[in-house]
Amino acid sequence: MKRKKETPVELAPEISVTVNGAVVTRRVPARRHLIDFLREELGLTGSHTGCEHGVCGACTVRVDGRIVRGCLMLAVQADGRRVDTIEGLSDSGELGELQEAFHRRNALQCGFCTPGMLLAAQDLIVSRPDASREQIREHLSGNYCRCTGYQAIVDAVEDVLASQRKKT
């Protein structure tokens, strides 16, 4: 009789992840965060490692189309999933209008928070095209910025929402 194969317990499992459209296969230590995997193994240093306990939002990336904290997900949990980072979303042009608005409104200074901020803002633009200023603030509450005081960031997001409403 064939014995049912047990799922292996591993210290360094092999994973296969679609990162910005390309499949990458690697063996990673189980404890490695998704954000460290992206930055250190794949050289995608656009997303930042900030607080490493889910408070600052600098490590925000997309997994299967939804924003997540890259420091609160293990690389092994992304196995078989699609991961999109600031690099891929910049290259595809999806964030173009938002990036232009950030530039125009001076919505960044040091830039550390910006990749995470852009991903969180784009998530709102797609999911709530009618968002008010208050709702923009609420949605971005999980992303710290220590330079701008947020005013200019909210202005930039508001600009994009307004221009998209005009288009439809």
Partner 1 sequence: MKAPPFAYVRARSLAEVFGLLERHGEGARLLAGGQSLLASLNMRLDAPALLIDITRIAALSGIAVRGRKVRIGALTTHAEIQRSAEIAKHLPLLSQAAPHIAHAAIRNVGTFGGSLALADPAAEWPACCIALDAQFVLRSTSGTRRVAAREFFHGLYATALRPNEVLTQVEIAVTGLNCRSTFVELARRRGDYATVGLAALARRNARGVLSDLRLAFLGVGAAPALARAAMAALEGKRASADTIAAAGEALTRDLEPSADLYTTATTKLHLARVLTGRALTALAA
DSSP state of 41: I
Of how many residues is the chain composed? 168
- Dihedral of alpha carbons 134, 139, 141, 144, sign: negative
CB atoms within 10 A of CB 85: 24
* Least spacing, CB of residue 103 vs partner 1, in Å: 24
Residue 137, class by beta-carbon neighbours within 10 Å (0-12 exposed, 13-18 middle, 19+ buried)? Answer: middle
Q: Which is nearer to partner 1, 57 or 88 (CB)?
A: 57
* Least spacing, CB of residue 73 vs partner 1, in Å: 7
Q: Which is nearer to partner 1, 59 or 107 (CB)?
A: 59
Q: Which is nearer to partner 1, 73 or 89 (CB)?
A: 73
Torsion of CA 33, 119, 51, 134, to 10 degrees: -140
Q: Which is nearer to partner 1, 82 or 106 (CB)?
A: 82
Q: Which residues bind partner 1 (CB under 8 A)?
A: 6-11, 13, 29-31, 33, 36, 52-54, 57, 60, 66-69, 71-74, 76-77, 79, 120, 123-124, 137-139, 141-143
